Structure 1
Amino acid sequence: MRTLRESLRDLDDRRLSPYTGWTRDHWAALADHLLLSARPYASNSHARVSFPGAPGGYGSDVDGLEGFARTFLAAGFRIAGEGGRDPLGLLDWYAQGLAAGTDPRSPERWVRLDEHDQAKVEAASIALVLHLTRPWLWDRLSPLVQEQVVDYLAPAIGSGYPPINWIWFQIIVEQFLASAGGPCSAKDIDEGLALTDGFAREDGWYADGAERSYDHYVGWALHFYPLMWTEMAAGEPAADTRRPVYLARLERYLHDAVHLVGADGSPLVQGRSLTYRFAAAAQFWAGARAGTPSPGPGLLRRAASGIARHFVEHGAPGDDGILTLGWHREWRPIAQSYSGPGSPYWAAKGLFGLSLPAGHPVWTAVEEPLPVESGDFHLAVRAPGWLVSGTREDGVVRVVNHGTDHSRPGTNLTDSPLYARLGYSTATSPLLAGAHSAEPFDQSAAILDESGRPSHRTGFETTFTGRLPSGTLAGASRWRAHWVTPDADQPDHGSGRSGTPRLGPWLEVISAVRGPWELRLVRVPASGEAPLGPLRLGGWPLPVAEEPARDGRPAASNGVLRSRLFPGPGLDASGVLHAEDATPLATWTSVPWCGTTGPARPGTWYDVAIFLGGQDPAEPPALSWDGAGTAILTWPDGTEDRLDTGTALAGA
């Protein structure tokens, strides 16, 4: 039997899509494959779709609802884009599920919104699809089933929703209820809209709530839902007034977002809920549907198709057509505690482009190259504090992080490997399993205590992110090193863990980024407080197929990419950590590191050149000092930069 990826390759059109080969036919085939492969796991009346695997943290009732609601998204997009044409019989199939799931007397009835909060999430997907397919599904349901659906959704009114992207679930549900003649609270919607206005940050970005939470939710939720709500509420003054604002934010954000996709189609491996995989494409389809003037439709499709093709080519879905908890293939440690076997089907959001008909410009335009395919670039993204570097030679996008930790300045939590590392990329994953997932190693700057435990940085202060006159990127942050004894039994929602902290010295880190290089400067300020132990700096975590030989050098290779460190004076200890089954990308992960053999000297700047790229570097950048606080950086391409460390740390 031929695999999905083999079948899709037969459809490739390199004239229309010179970079991915993918067209609307590929997307339709992917959606149909996912939908048909899910049917064997449905209950008798189709109200629950219970995929194989251990139950999620919320139990099998929630798992079955997720399986229905999230595949319903795919079905809804498919029907909407075909104008109601339905060769797979999706409308009747899901109509039966709606009838049984909302019937309080049915053995297949759904867990209600006032019984479990996760139902509030799934209710939004159901309401959204009912809106998109109204003439072919909602309008043809019997009055009894329509009444049942309204009764099922009604507990959203006046209910408490976490003050994050979840507020949009309430808004979407209540807007649908209003359109269906059901109960609705204008107060809920007005207050929700006001709250979400507070999520807006610079350059079209949103934070997921009040914390420094920047991840894929920015695109697949916080930009996706506002514009869908304005469609649902079209003609209402609040929606018509807000739509241009939401559209302008999305357009500006997308100019950054297209820079965060690797040439191989991989999204950035950063942030929670990564098991949703090609849901990351939803933001680009949202731009196409809303009609953002730029980026153009050919680039939007290139980004979206690249993401989906990346996962299909790496085995997601699997040969059985199922999306498991994982990234490429099944790898359960990537899941958060709220994830169950139906959760990965939020990937259906990435199929949103299918809601657009075949004649839409996003399907007819010729693909345009991603920024990383057009040339090397350097981009400072202010809201999340990211220094983004893409290199055409290897197609890798790297992020050096001085602004995101899923927390606030001054908190003393443990570091989440998904948020608080100093670096992320489209070709590497932070260590997410094993001892070093809880104790920072990769992409870290840490003081080791008397037991050898590394300190954490969550709660840091961002002092600078920007660009030097040459175009080199620079950023800085400072934090109180701390060690945490976590409180027991905390759910894993992707952020750091609270507990009993023990405070250590302050650490200051300045990064200069150019091409595949970061020059990282680290100092323990001369505050009179002696460090508790040595300083350790971790580099890029490189996925490798087999356990490499240990030769003591801070360097690793997988035959395609190299991860290397070039330590400066005083960093006289070095090596490579080899971690087994620690990331979803490969069996082994190699992390070069360096550090001091004794306690770090207060007031001393330590420097290390950190490399991730396709070719072994001939020479590293050089650093010298002009006076007490100005670093002179000389890069392999001959560029020279002057970096005033005092200015960077003062926030100028």
Structure 2
Amino acid sequence: MNLPSEDPVLSPHTGWTRAHWEAVADELLAAVRPFASPSGSLVRLPGPASGSGEWSDDLEGYARTFLLAAFRAAHAEPEHAERILAPYATGLAAGTDPRSPERWPRPGELRQARVEAASVALALHETRALLWDRLPDAVRENTVRWLAELGGVEVPANNWVWFRAVVAAFLRSVDAPHAAADIAHAVEVTDTWYRGGGWYTDGGTSRFDHYNGWAMHLYPLWYCRISGDHEPLDRYRDRLATFLEDAVHLVGGDGAPLFQGRSLTYRFAAAAPFLTGALFDATPLPPGLTRRAASGMLRYFLDRGATEENGLLSLGWHRRFELIRQNYSGPASPYWASKGFLGLLLPPDHPVWTATEEPLPVERGDFTRAIAAPGWLVSGTAADGVVRVVNHGTPRTPSGRDPFYARLAYTTHTAPELGPPDPAADFRLDGDARAGEAAPDNQVAPADAPAARAGLELLALDGRVAVSHHEAVTVASAVRGPWEVRVVWPDEPAPGRRLVIGGHALAADRPPAEPSPGVVRRADGLTSALLVLHPPAEPPPAHRAEHTNPFGAHSATPWHEAPAEGPLAVAIFLGTTDSTALPPAPRYDTTTGEVTWPDGSRDDAAAAVDPGGRGA
């Protein structure tokens, strides 16, 4: 990309300014134009079709890049804004004309169109004076007719309810017939999904992931922005402000968001809640910290190959990685990354753009943070910028077989093994066929039934200790710095049964080295290790795989297999080392259940399991 010079004074952490965001937006928009239909209504990007089909994907190409164009045009020079929006104006005319050969699928005839309608409505609202008010009456009438078809139509009981509500709000704002019940329903059910501490579930399930920020907080506030409805505004603002106190602790020192949850190919859409907080005066974060988090995410992905030679965003994490695809993922799906650009709605003289960048929490010092709603215990280390989440409360599905949710730990610097695809997996519209069940990474599971955390139940989350139960085991995690001590108690002895306990999967373009049993190390020093604390044993050679990890073609996972007799205790390490030696390791006392850290401090991993503790 052709980017402006960096500004190390204003942006000492990323070097990037608003000018970089504008330049990236311009290049992303320019890259999709060769793939647009003659009218611009359909944008057919190269790649495998989603489960909804090519016609749906083509609409997605229009709607999601229209959102980016709307944000970019907001404070652009008038002539530049007109150039950006011109193909979207002609595309709107053709897409909503039922007689056009380039018409869009209607929301009533294709489910995915119900999603994209919300992006169209948001973009139209943000370009009201620049585009909507200048459209011929016939185009406005066709657009209203197309959007109105969403009124009262069936949607899943999750963030989709807001697609109907946002569309209804836009229709109301242009004095068009609208489904007021869609708005009332979204407001009502969203309040029932709120779990406190700034966190929503997505539809009352146990799904906690990035949708909390780029959907559940974003759309309710945008509904208020479009409709002028101030009744729910204060509570939505308060919830987002509270959420951001946690969210800023989930950003790695290299700018990486946490690799966890579905739809990760949206990449820097993870910046949306930070910038939404600034736009709605709903953030506790200083402006310089907001920009540090958002610019860090944008640069993180672009520096690691998110755009291909043709300038298009690929379907993947860093570079193209097909195993991250889900049934609803098409070639244009990555362009919901456009949500990350909503900060361009802030004027150039806003403090988010003019304040000096401030360091992230993980750059200020080591921390441990418990997040109650998802059942996460978070640790960050300033020396390497790694943020780790020990997951004791988010399985997503009752079977506990989804690698994007059911692993025991996730980080900003590693990812679960995601392949090969499981042809027997449920691959519905909201499904995931990347089971990755053969890999031991961050698992505590029977050796003959890997990857399952069925019946996951959070038992305790306090200080530096978290405890949960799944299948027939209780697992406690105590964290400090780069270490996690993981203690496992089988419910009852099972002769002949064996358990697999895995550490973090480390991936790179070259195979990670294995300097000693239980230790794997990349060329850049990032090291993953598993040390057996009790009963004493040597871990086997690392589990190795190829082309199953979005962080690199070669991956290696330290792991341990032992009889299902408790307690079993291991020390899990993820951090940077400057040699083959690990830093001093923690110890576990099987009699007291205490973990002793290298600095002499202690945590009781057993007391939280039951009042009597669970020693040897």
TM-score (norm 2): 0.94
Residue in structure 2 matched with residue 158 of structure 1 by the alignment: 152
* Match for residue 329 of structure 1 among 319, 325, 339: 319
1:530 deviates by 2.5
Provide the rounded CA distance (Å) in 2 between the counterparts of 1:87 and 1:125. 18
Write the distance in 2 (CA, Å) between the matches of 1:29 and 1:83.
13
Runs of 5+ consecutive residues of structure 2 not aligned to the other structure: 422-434
- Measure how far apart 1:475 and its partner are: 0.5
Give yes or no for contact 2:512–2:522 (8 Å, CA) kept in 1: no
Q: What's the CA shift for 1:88?
A: 6.0
Work out whether 1:568 is the aligned partner of 2:519: no
Structure 2 partner of 1:43: 37
State the percentage of identical aligned residues: 47
SS of 1:229 mapped into structure 2: helix
Provide the residue aligned with 1:228 in structure 2.
Answer: 222
| Map of 1:520 onto structure 2 | 486
* TM-aligned CA distance change 1:87 to 1:455, over 3 Å: closer
Match of 2:278 in 1: 288
1:608 matches 2:574: no
User: Does structure 1 residue 540 correspond to structure 2 residue 530?
Assistant: no
CA deviation string 1:112-148 (max 9, x = no partner)? 1011110001000000011111111111111100000
1:380 maps to which of 370, 392, 401: 370
Q: Distance in 1 between matches of 2:588 and 2:469?
A: 21
Which deviates more, 365-374 or 75-84?
Answer: 75-84
Q: 2:7 touches 2:16 (CA, 8 Å); kept in 1?
A: yes
C-alpha distance in structure 1 between counterparts of 2:512 and 2:22, whole Å: 42
- Tell me the equivalent position of 2:520: 556
Task: Say yes or no: does 1:425 pair with 2:411.
Answer: yes
1:476 aligns with 2:467: yes
Residues 475 and 648 of structure 1 are in contact (CA less than 8 Å); yes or no, is this contact kept in structure 2? no
CA contact (8 A) 1:575 1:594 kept: no
How do 1:11-410 and structure 2 match up within 5 A?
11-82=5-76, 86-87=80-81, 89-234=83-228, 239-407=229-397
Matched, 1:624 2:551: no
Distance 1:342 1:460, change over 3 A: same
In the TM superposition, 1:443-462 aligns within 5 A as 443-449=442-448, 453-454=449-450, 456-462=452-458
Q: Residues 441 and 192 from structure 1, CA distance in 2 versus in 1: closer, same or farther, beyond 3 angstroms?
A: same
Q: Which runs of 5 or more structure 1 residues have no equivalent in the other structure?
A: 468-472, 481-505
1:463·1:649 contact (CA, 8 Å) conserved in 2? no
**Separation in structure 2 between the aligned mates of residue 295 and residue 566 of structure 1, nearest angstrom:** 38
Letter in 2 for 1:417: P
Q: Deviations over 1:332-355 (max 9, x none)?
A: 111101111011111111111111
Specify the code of the residue in structure 1 equivalent to 2:533.
G
1:414 is displaced (CA, Å) by: 4.7
Which deviates more, 563-572 or 310-319? 563-572
Is the 8 Å Cα contact of residues 417 and 440 (structure 1) preserved in structure 2? no
Q: Which moved more, 1:560-569 or 1:40-49?
A: 560-569
- Compared CA separation, residues 531 and 386, structure 1 to 2 (3 A): farther
Q: 1:249 to 1:583 in 2, by over 3 A?
A: same
Shift of residue 455 of structure 1? Answer: 5.6
Residue of structure 1 equivalent to 2:544: 578
3-state secondary structure, aligned to 1:535: strand
Q: Structure 1 residue 84: deviation in Å?
A: 5.3
Amino acid at match of 1:478: H
Whichever residue aligns with residue 466 of structure 2, its letter is G
For the pair 1:638 / 2:603, whether they are aligned, the reply is: no
Instruction: Tell me what 1:490 maps to.
Output: none
Amino acid at match of 1:434: P
Offset at residue 81 of structure 1 (A): 3.1
- 1:61 to partner: Cα distance: 0.2
Kindly provide the CA deviation profile for residues 396-432 of structure 1, in whole angstroms up to 9, marking residues without a partner as x.
Answer: 100000011113xxx3x25111000000000001001
- CA change 1:358–1:271 in 2 (3 A) is same
Cα shift readout 1:366-394 (whole Å, capped 9, x = no counterpart):
11100011111111011111110000000
Compared CA separation, residues 64 and 384, structure 1 to 2 (3 A): same
Summarize deviations over 1:541-572 as a string: whole Å, max 9, x none: 11133235667711100032111111023363
How many Å separate the matches in 1 of 2:189 and 2:246?
Answer: 24
The CA distance in 1 between the partners of 2:386 and 2:394, in whole Å, is 21
Q: Does 1:465 align with 2:429?
A: no
C-alpha change, 1:158 and 1:455, in structure 2 (3 Å) is: closer
Amino acid at match of 1:141: L
- Distance in 1 between the 2:93 and 2:612 partners? 61
1:507 Cα deviation after fit: 0.7
More displaced stretch, 54-63 vs 265-274 = 54-63
Query: Partners in 2 of 1:248 and 1:203 — Cα distance?
Result: 10
Q: Which amino acid letter does the alignment assign opposite residue 139 of structure 1?
A: D
Whole-angstrom distance in 2 between the partners of 1:581 and 1:646: 39
For 2:386 and 2:488, locate their aligned partners in 1 and report how far apart those are by CA, in whole Å.
25
Q: Give the superposed CA RMSD.
A: 1.8
Cα displacement string for residues 306-333 of structure 1 (whole angstroms, at most 9, x for unaligned residues): 0000011111222321011111111111
TM-score by length of 1: 0.88
Give the direction of change, closer, same or farther, for the CA distance of 1:300–1:650 in structure 2 (3 Å limit). Answer: farther
Inter-partner Cα distance in structure 2 for 1:649 and 1:57:
50
Deviation at 1:176?
Answer: 0.6
Paired amino acid for 1:299: L
Segments ≥4 residues shifted beyond 4 Å = 548-552, 646-651
Is contact 2:71-2:345 (8 Å) kept?
Answer: yes
Return the offset for 1:54: 2.2
Q: Deviations over 1:262-316 (max 9, x none)?
A: 1111111111101111111111110110112511111111000000000111112
